[in-house]
């Protein structure tokens, strides 16, 4: 099979049709620029008012039955009414549009306006808020003002009556100089009448004290009736004057009290923030439009250039990998689980974990049948690696990948489980310290772990986890106990650290010392390393291992990335054992590679 075109070939295609790219990009960019320049700039500004009536009752205040939800809706409608628009237009001299909205779950109302003039937009909003405050006070003080007008009118009438009575009294006294003898008796009678009214508030007319007072009043009236007629006329004038004076004083007090109350009517509406004059138009966004035009033009140009070119830059077959990279494919790991392709794409676009931890655990060999193609694939990988192993001593390996989410950790864990299943004593070390996950896989504490060992804070024998720890973890108990050879499986976790600490630790002499110490105690020691193209950790660890396995997910990473990973490892004298082609769909392999899945069919035939 021919190798797909290289990046140089793609660049050659672009250069060959560069004028098409330039023409489409230029036309799109110019069109975007012209469109932007011909748009009328629009300015937007916003002010904020607060409508919050006080509780209780008072002059202009009745909020006992105030409902926040319906009340705020009503105020928003008042702000947006035609009457409000008419008053605003009358004040600023022209009609203008504005919008009022309640700020969610609050007593705030945002008032915004859009205009072709920055100052006009601010003037409109500020006028709206001022008129709203005035209108609110006017509506609540209307009844009080009407009451004040009535009081003032009545007071004027009483004042005129007083003046008339005083004039009549003066004239009468001038024409009857000998009158005035009954003043004392009249005063006494008025005092007795006043006392009787006060007593009737407490007693009935049959009460002895009331009866006695009535007798005194009757005697006074009898004496008063016997006085000369001139004295009686003067007494009537005095009595009318006193009544009108008292009424005048009462009305004057009511008038002052009403005026004070009007000036103290509480404000329901307060302006929280006045509308500022916007510094720049919000439409059109010239920078965004021009940048979008350039990017869109470039994209359209590239699409036009590559319409007839193949964009498949990944490798999906064994031959392509071995030919292009120059290293053998150790095994093909079939696709695990039932995840659909669109779900994988969605997980990538949303930048989230493709497999949540529970789904990850379901893909471990604990959950696989001993005759499944999955466990056979990992046994095949183990056999291919074991074929390159020296005859004596334990073997130290590292697993890495070109990029993220290629199934490196899953491959390393299942490889170790396959080795344990075959009777080997295995230590799996989570050395991906930048993104530790091994403790989550087995439900183990992440400390102490590898970092404590490499910094001299702990002995490796004390931080390795075994069957007892697995049973106390989060993996199903029956799955662990039913897995053959699990007692020979140990795991060492890791925790996050800064980049500088990681590089220093992996570059220290403690790493090779640690490798030499654990080698005699295990048949197989496996480091799960971070991606080689992203971090130097895989190179630093791989330099002290007997071999490195490069995990590559079919169709995910560009072939140049795989080649670059191989070159980096080789340049650092890291021995590459081969590639584990991971997550291979049977539909992607084609008829020529169906034999990789043949053992699944064969196992089913044996069961019949």
User: Can you give the residue ranges of every domain in the chain?
Assistant: 7-39+284-306, 183-226, 318-607
Burial class (CB in 10 A: 0-12, 13-18, 19+), 55: exposed
| Cα-based angle 197, 201, 204 (whole degrees, multiple of 5) | 95
Q: For 233, left (φ over 0), alpha (ψ -120 to 50), or beta?
A: alpha
Look-up: residue for tokens 């009460």? Answer: 207
Question: In angstroms, what CA-CA distances link 189 with 180, 219, 222?
Answer: 15, 9, 11
Q: In sequence order, which residues have a C-beta less than 8 Å from that of residue 238 and are 6 or more positions away? A: 169, 183, 186
482 three-class SS = coil
Say how far apart CA 568 and CA 574 lie, in whole Å.
9
CA pair distance 208, 323, nearest whole angstrom: 132
Mean pLDDT across 170-180: 65
pLDDT cut 90: percent of the chain above it: 15
CATH number of 318-607: 3.40.50.300
Q: Is the pLDDT of residue 584 over 80?
A: no
Task: For the beta carbon of residue 549, count every other beta carbon within 10 angstroms.
Answer: 26
pLDDT (tens digit, 9 = 90+) per residue, 303-323? 888 775 565 556 656 777 888
Coil/strand/helix, residue 166: helix
Beta bridge partners of 101: 110
Confidence of residue 410 (pLDDT cuts 50, 70, 90): very high
What pLDDT score does 345 carry?
A: 46
For residue 15, give the DSSP letter: H
Q: Which positions ≥6 away from 16 have C-beta within 8 Å?
A: none
Judged against a pLDDT cut of 90, whether residue 528 lies above it is answered with: yes
**Between these two residues, 14 and 313, which has the higher pLDDT value?**
14
Do 568 and 533 form a contact (C-beta atoms < 8 A)? yes
Strand-pair category, 269-273 with 329-334: unpaired
Mean pLDDT of all residues in 372-400: 84
Query: Three-class SS of residue 331?
Result: strand
pLDDT of residue 590: 43
Instruction: Please determine, for residue 179, whether its predicted confidence score (pLDDT) is greater than 60.
Output: no
The closest alpha carbon to 413, from 583, 527, 317, belongs to 527
User: How confident is the model over 212-254, as pLDDT tens digits?
Assistant: 888 888 887 777 676 655 566 777 777 777 787 788 788 788 7
β-sheet bridge partners, residue 42: 283
| 580 φ/ψ angles, rounded to the nearest 5 degrees | -100, 110
Q: How many CA atoms lie within 13 Å of 332's alpha carbon, on the beta-carbon side? A: 22
| Kind of pairing between the strands at 426-430 and 61-62 | unpaired
Q: Estimate to the nearest angstrom the gap between the alpha carbon of 146 and the chain centroid.
A: 52
Confidence of residue 599 (pLDDT cuts 50, 70, 90): very low
Question: What is the residue whose two structure tokens read 């050659």?
Answer: 12
For residue 375, is the peptide bond before it cis, meaning its omega torsion is within 30 degrees of 0? no
Cβ 61 vs Cβ 54: under 8 Å: yes
CA torsion through residues 330, 571, 554, 491, sign? positive
pTM of the model: 0.49
pLDDT at 9: 59
* Helix H or strand E segment including 401: strand 395-401
Higher pLDDT, 201 or 57: 201
Select, from the ranges 118-127, 316-325, 393-402, the one with the highest average predicted confidence (pLDDT). Answer: 393-402
Query: DSSP character for 369?
Result: -
Which residues, in sequence order, are bridge partners of residue 113?
45
Q: Tell me, what's the pLDDT at 464?
A: 92
Give the pLDDT confidence score for residue 161 in this predicted structure. Answer: 82
Q: Any idea what DSSP says for residue 102?
A: E
pLDDT of residue 591: 43
SS3 557: coil
Give every CB contact of residue 269 below 8 A, 6+ residues apart in sequence: 49, 50, 51, 132, 133, 136
7-21, 42-56, 465-479: least confidently modelled range: 7-21
Whether the CA torsion 244, 249, 250, 252 is positive or negative: it is positive
Widest pairwise Cα distance in the chain: 154
Q: What is the mean pLDDT of the chain?
A: 78
pLDDT, residue 226, reads: 64
For the ranges 93-107, 297-311, 475-489, 582-596, the maximum mean pLDDT occurs at 475-489
Report the C-alpha dihedral over residues 462, 467, 472, 473, rounded to 10 degrees. Answer: 90
- The residue that leads in pLDDT, 258 or 205, is 205
Residue 331, beta-bridge partner list? 580
Mean pLDDT of the 531-558 span = 89
User: For the residues 566-592, what does the mean pLDDT come to?
Assistant: 78
């Amino acid at each position: 099979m021919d190798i797909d075109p290289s990046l140089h070939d793609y660049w050659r295609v672009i250069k060959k049709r560069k004028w098409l790219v330039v023409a489409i990009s230029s036309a799109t960019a110019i069109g975007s620029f012209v469109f932007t320049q011909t748009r009328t700039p629009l300015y937007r500004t916003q002010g904020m008012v607060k409508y919050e009536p006080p509780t209780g009752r008072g002059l202009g205040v009745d909020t006992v039955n105030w409902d926040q939800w319906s009340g705020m809706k009503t105020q928003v409608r008042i702000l947006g009414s035609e009457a409000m628009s008419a008053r605003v237009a009358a004040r600023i001299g022209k009609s203008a549009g504005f919008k009022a909205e309640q700020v969610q779950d609050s007593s705030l109302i945002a008032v915004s306006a859009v205009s072709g003039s920055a100052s006009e937009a601010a003037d409109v909003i500020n006028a709206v808020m001022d008129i709203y405050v005035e209108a609110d006070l006017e509506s609540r003080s209307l009844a009080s003002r009407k009451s004040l007008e009535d009081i003032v009118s009545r007071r004027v009438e009483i004042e005129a009556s007083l003046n008339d009575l005083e004039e009549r009294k003066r004239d009468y006294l001038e024409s009857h100089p000998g009158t005035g003898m009954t003043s004392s008796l009249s005063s006494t009678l008025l005092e007795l009448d006043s006392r009787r009214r006060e007593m009737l508030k407490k007693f009935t007319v049959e009460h002895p004290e009331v009866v006695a007072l009535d007798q005194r009043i009757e005697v006074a009236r009898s004496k008063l009736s016997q006085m000369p007629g001139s004295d009686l006329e003067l007494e009537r004038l005095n009595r009318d004057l006193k009544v009108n004076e008292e009424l005048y004083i009462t009305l004057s007090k009511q008038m002052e009290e009403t005026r004070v109350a009007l000036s103290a009517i509480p404000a329901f509406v307060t302006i929280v923030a006045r509308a500022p004059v916007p510094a720049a138009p919000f439409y059109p966004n010239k920078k965004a439009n021009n940048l979008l035009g350039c990017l869109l033009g470039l994209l359209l140009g590239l699409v036009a250039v590559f319409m007839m070119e193949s964009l498949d830059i990944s490798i999906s077959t064994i031959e392509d990998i071995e030919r292009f990279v120059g290293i053998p494919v150790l095994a093909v790991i079939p696709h695990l689980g039932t995840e659909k392709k669109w779900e994988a794409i969605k997980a990538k676009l949303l930048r989230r974990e493709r497999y949540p931890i529970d789904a990850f655990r379901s893909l471990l060999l604990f959950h696989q049948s001993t005759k499944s193609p999955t466990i056979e694939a990992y046994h095949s990988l183990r056999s291919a690696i074991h074929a390159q192993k020296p005859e004596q001593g334990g073997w130290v390996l590292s697993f890495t990948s070109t990029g993220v989410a290629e199934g490196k950790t899953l491959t390393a864990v299942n490889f170790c489980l396959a080795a344990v299943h075959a009777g080997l004593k295995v230590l799996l070390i989570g050395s991906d310290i930048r993104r530790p996950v091994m403790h989550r896989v087995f439900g183990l504490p992440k400390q102490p772990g590898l970092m404590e060992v490499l910094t001299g804070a702990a002995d490796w024998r004390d931080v390795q986890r075994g069957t007892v720890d697995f049973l106390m973890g989060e993996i199903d108990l029956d799955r662990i106990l039913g897995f053959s050879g699990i007692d020979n499986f140990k795991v060492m976790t890791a925790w996050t650290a800064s980049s500088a600490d990681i590089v220093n630790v992996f570059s220290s002499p403690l790493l090779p010392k640690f490798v030499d110490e654990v080698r005699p105690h295990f048949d197989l020691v496996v480091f799960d390393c971070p991606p080689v193209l992203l971090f130097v950790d895989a190179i630093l660890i791989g330099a002290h291992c007997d071999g490195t396995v490069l995990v590559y997910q079919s169709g995910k990473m560009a072939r140049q990335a795989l080649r670059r990973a191989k070159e980096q490892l080789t340049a650092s004298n890291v021995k590459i054992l081969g590639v584990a082609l991971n997550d291979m769909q049977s539909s992607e392999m084609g008829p020529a590679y169906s034999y990789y899945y043949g053992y699944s069919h064969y196992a089913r035939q044996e069961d019949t």
